[in-house]
Structure 1
Amino acid sequence: MGGGGSALRVCADHRGGINWISLSPDGQRLLTGSEDGTARLWSTADGQCCALFQGHESYVTFCQLENDAAFTCSADHTIRKWDVLSGQCLAVYRGHTSIVNRILVVNSQLFSSSYDRTARCWSMEEEQVFQEFRGHRNCVLTLAYSASWDLHGTPCELEEDMARGLLVTGSTDGTAKVWQVAGGCCHQTLRGHTGAVLCLVLDTASHEVFTGSTDATIRAWDILSGEQLRVFREHQGSVICLELVNRHVYSGSADRTVKCWLADTGERVRTFKTHGHSVSALKYHAGTCYFAKKVQERVWGPLPTFTPQECGKDLNVQSA
């Protein structure tokens, strides 16, 4: 294995590629959503499959694991909530008219994005749409949320409008948009990418959002002013997934690498060569970076954060 980084687990129970992975808040369980139409729950300690979630009529595009429930969305236009112990489907959310790309569960709110060019906020108990966000000119791929209490320093005139927080969405129209959840209004449109915005991650403390695109760049923005702050250039393929940890940005790409960057400067710290396949999902927890590739497995290995003094040293991470 590569010096200092190696594959610790490989599981191949899915019958299709893995589109997303989600870690439980305590890091002890991992949820995977697959092109085989199922989601699976795994123990991170031994790599054993703990539960199988079946019911979607098409492939699973995304999943999110909470303490007592799992959420999945699918090309069948629906979102499902599951009991993690029994595997029983607890709720089905219907309303999108095309593929549901992403979901986000935060502060008892459920958000979703879809190929139908909308994002939505759902009442989880009533299984109904609370708010709809329209304005993108093409499908909405990714989203992130900032709660109102994270927006300290917001100008007074915006406080009431932002009382339910901000939603940030990325689209194949090449833009990201910042929405006021309470009224569904677009607060800012972030323009600069020359390709689809595939992924984004928020730093609520600094009011920044980082976006990754098919144009092979990562861009940092001020979500309140809409200003582009910096551009990260080194990937040779689409940037598919992002994680932000301790002011380090981790990016997974179609160029078969994971890169670590200094969020404040855009300087690359390390490159991790995953070999063989695009990196489709990336999660960081307690010093370990979990990544999924477009094959019938999921792999993880330790990818620590680094100091600026350690810049420029490459590290290989090989799958088993």
Structure 2
Amino acid sequence: MGGGGSALRVCADHRGGINWLSLSPDGQRLLTGSEDGTARLWSTADGQCCALLQGHESYVTFCQLEDEAAFTCSADCTIRKWDVLTGQCLQVFRGHTSIVNRILVANNQLFSSSYDRTARAWSVDKGQVAREFRGHRNCVLTLAYSAPQDLPGAPCAEEAVARGLLVTGSTDGTAKVWQVASGCCHQTLRGHTGAVLCLVLATPGHTAFTGSTDATVRAWDILSGQQLRVFQEHQGSVICLEVRPAWLPGRPWLLL
């Protein structure tokens, strides 16, 4: 049973390992970030490299592809914005003092996390830091954003969520919920006994799931900070999470 499958396309121009992949919203382009310090745009139709994105001075840690722009971050402490048609670097975001781990473009905002123990919000147009989120005791690995419209039924927190909430996970074993408007820490989610490696939000709503080196997944209410439940069947670190709508009545979310 089973048998082998065959590759439909092979994209083989990088000279180092590939750290991240990002598919365009229309599915026609693929962005790859590599240990070789470059990112590449590929056509998913024929596997051909459409553009080589060069400029980072160290390896690319993460990338995100939008309709009109590509974003990459690197161990060189910078984030770059690229034109997806020409491959030209449009903007360099400088401010982090250590490796930038993750970036997130959402709601016309750019968010980033770093080994420098901070997360930051940037003006995409100006390339400047708009807000700094400082409070973690160790490196910030992962992040997620909840827009105001994804936080229904929270009248008591209306001011706090006016520009949405940013959730960050750190090797200090905590996740933190930040008010984007003020930069203040809204909640600290404590319970993990190891580094928080991944997190995902169930939207619309205000539930976050975090995965850790302590082999557990935990569910949280990001408005109140309450821990809702703990999933404890894994035998090793939880490195990736995804939330999907469930098919079963009465179970609105399925955690994979």
Deviates more, 1:211-220 or 1:57-66: 211-220
Alignment match, 2:49: 49
TM-score (norm 2): 0.91
TM-score (norm 1): 0.73
Decide whether the 8 Å contact of 1:230 with 1:265 is kept in 2. no
Task: Compare the two structures and name the one with the higher strand fraction.
Answer: 1
Change (3 A) 1:105 1:221: same
Decide whether the 8 Å contact of 1:174 with 1:195 is kept in 2. yes
Decide whether the 8 Å contact of 1:161 with 1:180 is kept in 2. yes
Give the secondary structure class of the aligned counterpart of 1:157.
helix
Change (3 A) 1:107 1:134: same
How many residue pairs match? The answer is 253
Once the two structures are TM-superposed, the CA of residue 3 in structure 1 deviates from its matched residue by: 7.0
Change (3 A) 1:157 1:229: closer
Deviations 1:167-211 (A, max 9, x none): 000000011111100011111111122211111111121311121
Give the secondary structure class of the aligned counterpart of 2:85.
coil
Deviates more, 1:167-176 or 1:205-214: 205-214
Give the secondary structure class of the aligned counterpart of 1:21.
strand
Give the secondary structure class of the aligned counterpart of 2:242.
strand
> In the aligned structure 1, how far is the partner of 2:194 from the partner of 2:241?
16
> In the aligned structure 2, how far is the partner of 1:6 from the partner of 1:164?
46
Once the two structures are TM-superposed, the CA of residue 72 in structure 1 deviates from its matched residue by: 0.3
> In the aligned structure 2, how far is the partner of 1:38 from the partner of 1:96?
19
Alignment match, 2:29: 29
Change (3 A) 1:172 1:247: farther
Decide whether the 8 Å contact of 2:113 with 2:119 is kept in 1. yes
Give the secondary structure class of the aligned counterpart of 2:157.
helix
> In the aligned structure 2, how far is the partner of 1:124 from the partner of 1:116?
21
Relative contact order higher in (CA < 8 Å, ≥ 6 apart): 1
> In the aligned structure 1, how far is the partner of 2:242 from the partner of 2:7?
19
Which consecutive residues of structure 1, in runs of 5 or more, have no partner in the other structure? 249-261, 269-320
Give the secondary structure class of the aligned counterpart of 1:240.
coil
Alignment match, 2:205: 206
Alignment match, 2:159: 160
Decide whether the 8 Å contact of 2:71 with 2:80 is kept in 1. yes
Indicate yes or no: 2:172 matched with 1:173: yes
Alignment match, 1:216: 215
Alignment match, 2:122: 122
Change (3 A) 1:143 1:152: same
Once the two structures are TM-superposed, the CA of residue 5 in structure 1 deviates from its matched residue by: 8.1
Over the aligned positions, Cα root-mean-square deviation in angstroms equals 2.3
> In the aligned structure 2, how far is the partner of 1:42 from the partner of 1:236?
37
Once the two structures are TM-superposed, the CA of residue 247 in structure 1 deviates from its matched residue by: 4.2
Decide whether the 8 Å contact of 2:101 with 2:140 is kept in 1. yes
Deviates more, 1:195-204 or 1:80-89: 195-204
Which consecutive residues of structure 2, in runs of 5 or more, have no partner in the other structure? none
Once the two structures are TM-superposed, the CA of residue 240 in structure 1 deviates from its matched residue by: 2.2
Change (3 A) 1:28 1:143: same
> In the aligned structure 1, how far is the partner of 2:119 from the partner of 2:164?
15
* Equivalent residues in 2 for 1:113-152, closer than 5 Å: 113-152=113-152
* Equivalent AA in structure 1 for residue 124 of structure 2: M
Alignment match, 1:86: 86
> In the aligned structure 2, how far is the partner of 1:148 from the partner of 1:238?
32
* Equivalent AA in structure 1 for residue 186 of structure 2: H
